[in-house]
Structure 1
Amino acid sequence: MATEETRTVQEAYPMTGGDGLYSYAKNSTQQRKAIDSAKELIKKAIAEKLDKEILLSPKTFRIADLGCSVGPNTFFAAQNILEAVESKYKSEGLNSQIPDVQVFFSDHTSNDFNQLFTSLPQDRRYYAAGVPGSFHGPLFPQNSLHFVHSSSAIQWLSRAPKEVVNKNSPAWNKGRIHCSNSGDEVVLAYKAQYDKDMQQFLQARSGEIVFGGLMVLIVPGIPNGTHHSQSLRSLTFEIFGSCLMDLARKGIISEEKVDSFNLPIYYMSPQELEAAVERNGCFSIEGLEYLPPVIPNVSGESKFNGQFLASYLRAGMEGIIKQHFGEEILDVIFDSYGKKIEENSSIFKFGKAVYFLIILKRIAEN
């Protein structure tokens, strides 16, 4: 069970629910591209890395998608995994032993599970269940899962580092909302929070996944050796922060409000994630693959649409902005961001970003 400290420290800002104009359901095509790109890699991982012994034991094969949000992306991921598992059974000559499959869709308790359940595919070949809670702590019984998937989710921290909003800390991040273009102390505070959260994430999964089971994480990150000031995604946050400061200068919000706000997001490099896995010691790294870029204009798309990017960001950030600054500024701030991102579109040529997939296998402790 989660400790009292864990329960009180974790923050929850789920993606925008429903199916409206700014909903995650309508503005997550970029994340869908990553899931589509990972399909064959996941199929190969299950074919080559999932132990045959696991196939012979369960009456129910259990899959979990962590950070599922509201769909439809999570349903595509579940279907891809299901098809790969069925293919694995058939390739091992176990056609008659394919078990029932149960898929657990998990996200924060404040996630729009109503939207998720209403949009479940009618022709699904699995039993569906929702599991509310933060993936930074335990969510499932011991040794109950055979395959865990998470896409575009583990960059979210359990909270922003406390030091960055503390006026008396050398890591105080005054006038900024992220670690892009901030001092080393701010970057180190974010890195320390990431290290702590990733350790909790891996420790929780190590208890839930059976020995020989697999976990695949699809991660938006930064290239190895890249400073956060060069990170494309962090640069877009810097522009968003400047929009907030514009509102502060106009007296619409207070500057203190901006100073006390930092995004609980850390874009890790593949090396950082590999190091976290090695420190944890409960998983072997069975593969790491780079996926095609999914952010517009990184892959050479000619048309640039700032409002598209504003809607994309709003689907993920509306909750956290509304919680801190109030609902009144939402239209103004995201409209301003869309215009300013078009004015600064050169960052999409020079900013650095990667999407990568890591395949982990649960191993017995020494």
Structure 2
Amino acid sequence: MAQAISPMKGGDDTYSYVKNSSLQRDGLNAAKDMMKEALIQNLDIKKLLSGSTTFTIVFFNDLTANDFNTLFASLPDERKKYFAAGVPGSFFTRLFPCSSIHIAYSSSSLHWLSKLPVELQDKNSPAWNPGRIHYTGAPEAVVRAYANQFEEDMVMFLNARSQEIVGGGMIVILMPGVPDGVLTHDVGIALTFLGSILMDMVQEGLLKQDQVDLFNFPHVYPSVKQMTRLVEKNGCFEIIKMEQRNARTNTEAPIDIESAIMHLRAFTQESVANHMGTQIVDQLFTKALQQKSRFSYMLYSSGIEIGVQLFSLLKRK
């Protein structure tokens, strides 16, 4: 049984993704100038726009259950230079007509798997992952199962985009990433922390062990080497830039642990609720805030750089 991929917390209340996505905003801001410069240098604007209409259409894509209302409510009232449209569906499949997209942009999304590896649901599999909800700190078989699923997903993603993007068009990808040879990312540590709170709740009799054992979070954080290999395997894109960056505006500033837990809640609570019931969500994150010193220790004792993202700029051949 594969776990459904759940949307972010919608709306604009205290726990919504909109109110708790400053990390994603910082990641975009950190890469904005580099992105602009690279697009100007590598796009043949005259060629791309030859024969096209004089207006621009901006397509927004997300899963069908995600919150398009908040997105469109945030757009400017007057949009004279472009038209906006929402295209619901998984980006692991085709979304647009052939050769219809000049610039594609994927932000803080591609690290989500299309589904969980089936091995994680089999108690007799080497990739059975009891007491954990992610591959961070897990045995090699679990790590490999996640990596294999990510590779399958990247094959689908790049194949779909290769059909949609015009020759000479570009795709920009921002996502959490790790240095070559490293597995641990701070988001993975956050998920490990959340798993430890869930196990506390098992010990207290508030959850059953199987509820945690069967719950794994569908995130993978690739390295430059891993992404490069997958893009080259696809063969349809030239790598213009592929590098590791830091999304934080001030890497020396201490992490606001309470804000980090709020961010963790925004992108996990729908998955938790779907798997374990809505009744445990408030209790889970109340306990997480009470144990924020544990999260802080886990982050700072890991020895990793916090806030690392992978920046990829690919050009359709």
Structure 2 equivalent of residue 51 of structure 1: 44
How is 1:298-309 mapped onto 2 (pairs within 5 angstroms)?
299-302=251-254, 304-309=255-260
2:76 equivalent to 1:121: yes
Deviation at 1:42, TM superposition (A): 1.7
The answer for unaligned runs of 5 or more in structure 1 is 1-7, 61-98
Deviation at 1:289, TM superposition (A): 3.6
CA distance in 2, matches of 1:17, 1:234: 22
2:55 equivalent to 1:100: yes
How is 1:104-253 mapped onto 2 (pairs within 5 angstroms)?
104-124=59-79, 125-226=81-182, 228=183, 230-253=184-207
Structure 2 equivalent of residue 314 of structure 1: 265
Structure 2 CA distance for partners of 1:9 and 1:252, relative to 1, 3 Å: closer
TM-score (normalised: structure 2): 0.93
CA distance in 2, matches of 1:262, 1:12: 11
Q: CA RMSD in A?
A: 1.9
Structure 2 equivalent of residue 288 of structure 1: 242
Structure 1 equivalent of residue 22 of structure 2: 29
Deviation at 1:120, TM superposition (A): 1.6
Amino acid at match of 1:111: N
Tell me the SS of whatever aligns to 2:275. helix
Counting aligned pairs with the same residue, the percent is: 41
TM-score (normalised: structure 1): 0.81
Deviation at 1:234, TM superposition (A): 1.6
CA distance in 1, matches of 2:287, 2:208: 17
Tell me the SS of whatever aligns to 2:66. coil
Q: How many residues of Structure 1 are paired with residues of Structure 2 in the alignment?
A: 313
Aligned equivalent of 1:274, options 203, 228, 234: 228
Contact 1:179 1:187 (C-alpha < 8 Å) held by counterparts: yes
CA distance in 2, matches of 1:289, 1:255: 40
Amino acid at match of 1:119: S
CA distance in 1, matches of 2:70, 2:15: 14
CA distance in 2, matches of 1:156, 1:56: 33
CA distance in 2, matches of 1:341, 1:138: 42
Deviation at 1:343, TM superposition (A): 2.7
Deviation at 1:321, TM superposition (A): 0.8
The answer for unaligned runs of 5 or more in structure 2 is none
Structure 2 equivalent of residue 13 of structure 1: 6
Structure 2 equivalent of residue 326 of structure 1: 277
Structure 1 equivalent of residue 304 of structure 2: 351
CA distance in 1, matches of 2:78, 2:243: 31
Amino acid at match of 1:127: F
1:314-334 deviation line (CA, Å, top 9, x unaligned): 111111111101111111111
CA distance in 2, matches of 1:315, 1:186: 25
Structure 2 CA distance for partners of 1:231 and 1:158, relative to 1, 3 Å: same
Contact 2:23 2:247 (C-alpha < 8 Å) held by counterparts: no
Tell me the SS of whatever aligns to 2:309. strand
Return the structure number with greater relative CO, CA threshold 8 A, min gap 6. 2
Contact 2:106 2:172 (C-alpha < 8 Å) held by counterparts: yes
Amino acid at match of 2:105: H
CA distance in 2, matches of 1:188, 1:201: 20
Structure 2 equivalent of residue 3 of structure 1: none
| Mean CA deviation greater in 267-276 or 123-132 | 123-132
Structure 2 equivalent of residue 73 of structure 1: none
Structure 2 CA distance for partners of 1:344 and 1:24, relative to 1, 3 Å: closer
CA distance in 2, matches of 1:316, 1:54: 40
1:100-148 deviation line (CA, Å, top 9, x unaligned): 1110000000011122222222244320000000011111111110000
